[in-house]
Amino acid sequence: MAQLKSPVVVLGARSDIGRAIAKRYAQAGCSLVLAARDAERLAADRADLETRYQVAVRTADFDLNHTNPDRFFDDVGEPPGTIVMVAGMLGEQSRSEAEDAEAALVMQTNYTGPARFLLAGVRAMKHQTDGCIIGISSVAGERGRASNFVYGSAKAGFTAFLSGLRARLSQNNIHVITVKPGFVATRMTEGMALPAALTAMPDEVAKAVLAAHSKRKNEIYVRPVWRLIMAVIRALPEAIFKRLSI
């Protein structure tokens, strides 16, 4: 595996995917900043990673909707070598349709919040010569589906943001990776009937993230079958697509 730039800042480190990603980077020998709301609750994760992998680990308070992005990176101190944006929320489509505040929260947590923090991260990385930014987006952003179009539209915005950021930074030696996991078995999806063949585990996502980082991929689907599935969904004529209950 190629040398990975550290420290690695994991934004959303208390999520199942965030924890798995932090563990994989620690295994690769990277120092870490674990960022989440109520960061003191990450004390056990910090101690475990430091003891198990002999890497430096810090924790930091981070709230997409209330923390000042530039101040957050100032407080981190050392310019990050890698930033992984994991934070997000699924929300409930019915509530988003019925309640303005819920719709705004889903949109902000999945698009504007992550985008603002990554822009601040770029400013913090301005002197890096080989940095990497990784955003966890979603296949839901590839076409607006009736069952989750509020969440999907926010993820579509985030995917477009990452694409533009990748192009913008292509001459600055900061690489940007878009990750589309598909279904993942996490606390957020607990209780949902997910098809086993299409559902990844958090560590599967983490392994794919590190492989993409090492190989400098631009965009990945954690399970390649999703690339075919989404190609079919994108190709459906609108007259047919809008009749589907997906």
3-state secondary structure of 239: helix
Q: Which of 25, 53, 111, 151 is catalytic?
A: 151
Query: Which of 5, 3, 47, 52 minimizes the C-alpha distance to 27?
Result: 52
3-state secondary structure of 230: helix
140-143: list long-range contacts, CB under 8 Å, 24+ apart.
141/180, 142/230, 142/233, 142/234, 143/230, 143/233, 143/234, 143/241
3-state secondary structure of 184: strand
Annotation marks residue 151 as catalytic:
yes
Catalytic residues: 151
